[in-house]
Structure 1
Amino acid sequence: MNEKEILERAYLEAQKIVSENSFREFDTSLCENVDFLIDKIGSNKSIVSALATSLLKKITNPEQDIRLHRTDFENGYSARSLDTKVVTPFFKRHFPKYANKESAFLTLSTRERIKWNKNEGKNLKIRSKALKRSFLNVFEQIEDGNANPRVYLNYLFAKLQALSSKDELIFQLAKKQSGRSGVLNINLIIEMLQRHFAEKLSSRLPVVAIYSIYEILVPNLKRYDNKRLLPLQVHTSSDKHGFGDIEIYGDDGKPFEIIDIKHNISIDADLIFDIIKKTTTTSIDRYYILTTFPDGFETKEIEKAVNEFIIQTKTQKKIDIIANGIIPTLKYYLRFIDDYNLFIKKYTNNLVKDAKNSTEIKTFHIDKWIKILKEYKINNV
């Protein structure tokens, strides 16, 4: 079997494990280490993908020491190349939420020239010592303990399938709840969103909210005739491309309007200067810099100075920069929407879509949104 066939075979074996609920039949040490990696996958998906890549390599080439994941190690191999060509595309098909955009080997925790053994591996840039230990334990068990890499890969995929199935149940419930909307107004929606934004690790939520409004506005406002709203991109630093979080392009293929959203960061002149540098080589009609920071600015003096800088920039660079808080912006945009229920549905669907394709939206964010819908009696439950 070739590499792709091995992965597909492991996926089928994993389905049997899940359907028969035979997780307890596996070795305890295997379960403890892989389970811990899966438990932490929300912020460490590159680690899991790197492990899958290593196990695949060991299956195809049993003589290869998979702790030597780079070609500049003596007797090493290119794990990054294998991951980019085979494993990442596989994850995108079967586990899109936990797939890296390009490769698992673009993060500090996986790309550095550090052998994945107990001695050198202690220098890996993995914050959690327990996570680092579990990761290295697997390699030790495979290389020194002669554990079967196929068994590990099957179990790893089974845990990913079980996790994905659990997520899917929550996603379906969220969609069902949002489809039962009742009477809404702007103040009620803002209150609901503020409660949602107050959740931990919530920097993606305001982006999804603004994007959901644009999905409604772009097809209906004259300003956006012959313009297109680009799909939301992954928000992580190693994957992020483009000018901002939300981008609208003209039919000439050039950026027309950009929205960049900061989380708990006050707006200052440096952020405006960054926009100027970022847009030096292109012509953009309007650029929004929005923030969840209360009142948007540290002080009224800073706000005044920023606005003066923006006016100066518009005169010189012909770009209209708008600096504002997320909440005032949401209130303003919602006035242009006739059907508030449509916004709730769009926001919910986009939360689910984003949660299915990345780890930025957590399942507890979806859970919280369902609770908010219930508490505000937006559905008939």
Structure 2
Amino acid sequence: MVSDNSKIDFARPYDLTCDGLTELLNNHFHSEYLEEGASRLPTLALYAVYQCLLSEVKRFEGKKLQAIESHTSADKRSGRIGDIDIVDENERPFEAVEVKHGIPISLQLVRDAFQKFVTSQVSRYYLLSTADINEADRDAIRQEIERIRNVHGCQVIVNGVIKSLKYYLRLLSNTSEFIHNYVTLLENDAALKFEHKKRWNELIANG
């Protein structure tokens, strides 16, 4: 077995189409792995795209992307309200993203998310999952989102991770910066094992 500390020269394809890139990412997230850590991949991909969005999208002018935290940091202990947090010029929560891997978005997840940001003034909160939305809860989720908007003012948005990534990537001038960001995160994230990193290169080589 190859050591987790082995050096990997990551492939960095340039100017992939949005459809091609989201298919690549989807395959990376859902490959069969022997070790834990793959649940971190969707968060890294979304963080990488936000790194691009903050410099390209007017909505984020003057805003700051908080440093990504370790996979084991608890939100309550860290004071963060999401897996990805954007703050305004006064360090107040502006937008946040919570990412689930393999867990459908349920009514309870929406309620749990509300408890994380209820005391903040965040304007948008994304709850995204690689498993999309629990269809049995869809109407109840819509009603809960409306209730949260009325009592708090925050716009809660639930969606699939891949659907969201495809939309965000289409806002970028090209995909090369995103790929650079994602690969850099893959290189440095302590939650990932060698097989998660190696799989990225395998998917590109077999593409």
Same fold (TM over 0.5): yes
| Structure 1 partner of 2:140 | 305
Map of 1:184 onto structure 2: 16
Q: What amino acid sits opposite 2:89 in the alignment?
A: D
1:254 aligns with 2:89: no
**Matched residue, 1:345:** 180
Deviations 1:327-365 (A, max 9, x none): 1101111110121122222211111121xxx2x111111
Return the structure number with greater relative CO, CA threshold 8 A, min gap 6: 2
* Distance in 2 of aligned mates of 1:232 and 1:197: 18
Q: Compute the displacement of 1:286 (Å).
A: 0.6
Partner in structure 2 of residue 319 of structure 1? 154
Structure 1 position 193 matched with structure 2 position 25: yes
Partner letter of residue 39 of structure 2?
S
In the other structure, the counterpart of 2:200 is 369
Shift in Å, 1:225: 1.3
Q: Quickly say closer, same or farther: Cα 1:238–1:247, change in 2 above 3 A.
A: closer
Residue correspondence of structure 1 range 144-293 to structure 2 within 5 A: 166-167=5-6, 169-170=7-8, 173-174=9-10, 177-178=11-12, 181-199=13-31, 200=33, 201=36, 202-236=38-72, 241=78, 242-293=80-131
Task: Write the distance in 2 (CA, Å) between the matches of 1:303 and 1:365.
Answer: 33
- Bigger share in helix: 1
Alpha-carbon distance in structure 2 between the residues aligned to 1:244 and 1:288: 9
Compute the displacement of 1:304 (Å).
2.1
The CA deviation at 1:237 is 5.2
Q: What RMSD, in angstroms, separates the aligned Cα atoms of the two structures?
A: 2.0
Which aligned runs of 4 or more in structure 1 are off by greater than 6 angstroms?
none
Q: State how 1:110-125 maps to structure 2 within 5 Å.
A: none
Offset at 1:183? 4.8
Gaps of 5+ in 1: 1-38, 40-162, 377-381
The DSSP-based 3-state class of the residue aligned with 2:56 is: coil
Structure with the greater alpha carbon radius of gyration: 1
1:253–1:182 Cα change, 3 Å: closer
User: Contact 2:54 / 2:65 at 8 angstroms: preserved in 1?
Assistant: yes
- How big is each residue's C-alpha offset from its partner over 1:299-339, in whole Å with a ceiling of 9 and x where there is no partner? 2x411220121012101210110011101101111110121
SS of the residue aligned with 1:203? helix
**1:178-237 per-position Cα deviation (integer Å, ceiling 9, x unaligned):** 1xx245211111111111001333100000000010000111211111110011100115
Percent identity at matched positions?
31
- Counterpart code for 1:310: I
1:238–1:274 Cα change, 3 Å: closer
Cα distance in 1, alignment partners of residues 147 and 15 from structure 2: 44
Matched pairs, number: 201
CA change 1:253–1:365 in 2 (3 A) is same
The code of the aligned residue for 2:169 comes to L
Measure the CA separation in 2 of the matches of 1:319 and 1:273: 13
- Unaligned ranges ≥5, structure 2: none
CA distance, structure 2, for counterparts of residue 266 and residue 326 of structure 1: 11
Give TM-score, length-normalised by structure 1. 0.50
Higher strand share: 2
